[in-house]
Structure 1
């Protein structure tokens, strides 16, 4: 009976109430301490750091209470300043807790240099392929008197001969010195209307010719979309132009100026006409 009386005694219930109060107090204390320690509910929006220098990132993160780590960039991106931020993780606009570490990709200090392939004594076509496959560009084809016809004699960069072995940055444009042989060889003038400038340059180089003067329309809006609508000299199936000559081009982005004479030019190909004449002759023989 004494135990039963204890459960209903005043001291027992006071003890129970005190234990409940102490437990809830402990829970609240721990909860608010953890919330303060982990900064639960406090988030920071990450700004767009593109083109920021490291000094600018440090100043910005010091105000925001964030940290950063740098991931080196292996390639140079020309559209971004040197040694500036080109990428970040998490991305701009993401929300993170204070003291979060943000990963940054930094632009290289400059374009990477690589070895220029030694194309001396190779054919013109092979040399152009080797240069372009390595990430270089071909500028002018400079033909000089030499017994080796269409043999590459060297490269020039900004008027200076390239001495091998050599290293240049990716995208460097070289003029290619090519032997013209002992004869004053003439070549056909290809049709390059409606082509983009780079495509036309490749097309002309394959014929041993170069791009000459480039004239843009005054109302041109987008040079990246500009195409050739006129060329001088005009395309010709006959070998009338000296190898190494230049073709002047007129550029526009006006679709209404697109040339429509390509079919008539190709129809005038002497080889096509000879083929057609041969077919007619064969048909005549068969009919006989």
Structure 2
């Protein structure tokens, strides 16, 4: 019996069966790999178009042409635009994605959504900041008034008037904060070189300062350019190590010129090295 088994494994029939099994396995693996490449669109890359300011219908047609899809993520109200206009997109224009990727769009609402305003009084500035952002509000201007507690929220303002907790306010509204000045508190300018406009504004606000003038150079010609542009110059500069009163303004200059940005970063690093040594 044992001899028969050994002879079978050496037989031509067995070798043929093994060969067929290996061939079938190889073919199945090849089909699986091809299917995965097709399913994941391996190697296929598309540049996300700029949909800002388009109607949702036009944006949908544009994405269909590019073999992309979309879903409406949020809606805000801006009286400057018609209802249904695309006001934001994720991923941003210019991003590289695969065919079939879903974009998340924020569109202009028919009318502003009303949100109950949170209680900010007697909170720290950082707590108030998080509450406002979480509830869909924008941070406007920081003002400082006499109070022994630095960065304590004395009261918020909307359209120039104080606003109370529980009031119904338009989602996306810009809220100013009146904060305690404390005793002899000073701050320094943050490093903004290489940051986008949105990133720079957030950094400035969180440094207890206000965004001043925003200037774009000749490399900026479209809305997409303005989103991608980065700070190459600021005033006051971080290298001056200047002490500023809370609420002071910082002006920024933005560009898409990579050479200008590299030169600005090199100059910054050299100046910081001189300050250290």
TM-score with structure 1 length normalisation?
Answer: 0.55
Name 1:244's counterpart in structure 2. Answer: 247
1:90-169 aligned within 5 A: 109-169=110-170
User: After superposition, what is the alpha-carbon deviation per residue over 1:198-245, rounded to whole angstroms, capped at 9, x for unaligned?
Assistant: 211111222211111112224422212122111011114746111111
When residues 214 and 83 of structure 1 are mapped into structure 2, their CA distance, relative to the original with a 3 A threshold, is closer
In structure 2, the gaps of 5 or more residues are 1-54, 59-71, 86-106
Q: After superposition, what is the alpha-carbon deviation per residue over 1:111-154, rounded to whole angstroms, capped at 9, x for unaligned?
A: 32111211111001111011111111112111111122110111
- Is 1:50 the counterpart of 2:57 in the alignment? yes
Change in Cα spacing, 1:81 to 1:145, as seen in structure 2 (3 Å) is same
Choose the corresponding residue for 2:269, options 257, 263, 266. Answer: 263
**Structure 2 CA distance for aligned equivalents of residues 237 and 75 of structure 1:** 42
Match of 1:213 in 2: 213
CA distance in 2, matches of 1:269, 1:124: 31
Hey, what's the Cα distance between the residues in 1 that align with 2:275 and 2:258? 27
Find the aligned partners of 1:188 and 1:107 in 2 and give their Cα distance.
38
Larger radius of gyration: 1
Q: Deviations over 1:56-110 (max 9, x none)?
A: xxxxxxxxxxxxxxxxx995366984389xxxxxxxxxxxxxxxxxxxxx98532
Of 229, 232, 247, the residue aligned with 1:226 is: 229
**Partner Cα distance (1:196, 1:108) in 2:** 26
Would the alpha carbon gap of residues 124 and 236 (structure 1) be closer, same or farther in structure 2, given more than 3 Å must change?
Answer: farther
Task: Quote how far apart the aligned CAs of 1:172 are.
Answer: 1.4
Secondary structure of the structure 2 residue equivalent to 1:175: strand
| 1:196 Cα offset (Å) | 1.0
Deviation at 1:177, TM superposition (A): 1.1
TM-superposed deviation, 1:194 = 1.3
Alignment partner, residue 40 of structure 1:
none
Is 2:186 the partner of 1:186?
yes
> In 2, Cα distance between the equivalents of 1:148 and 1:267?
35
Taking a change above 3 Å as real, the CA distance of residues 266 and 128 of structure 1, as seen in their structure-2 partners, is farther
- Name the structure 2 match of 1:201: 201
Q: Distance in 1 between matches of 2:230 and 2:249?
A: 18
Distance (Å, rounded) in 2 between the aligned partners of 1:118 and 1:214: 31
Unaligned runs of 5+ in 1: 1-47, 52-72, 85-105, 274-288
SS of the equivalent of 2:191 reads coil
Q: Does 1:76 align with 2:82?
A: no
Paired positions, count: 181
Give, in whole Å, the separation in 2 of the partners of 1:49 and 1:220. 25
1:76–1:109 contact (8 Å) kept in structure 2? no
CA RMSD of aligned residues (A): 3.1
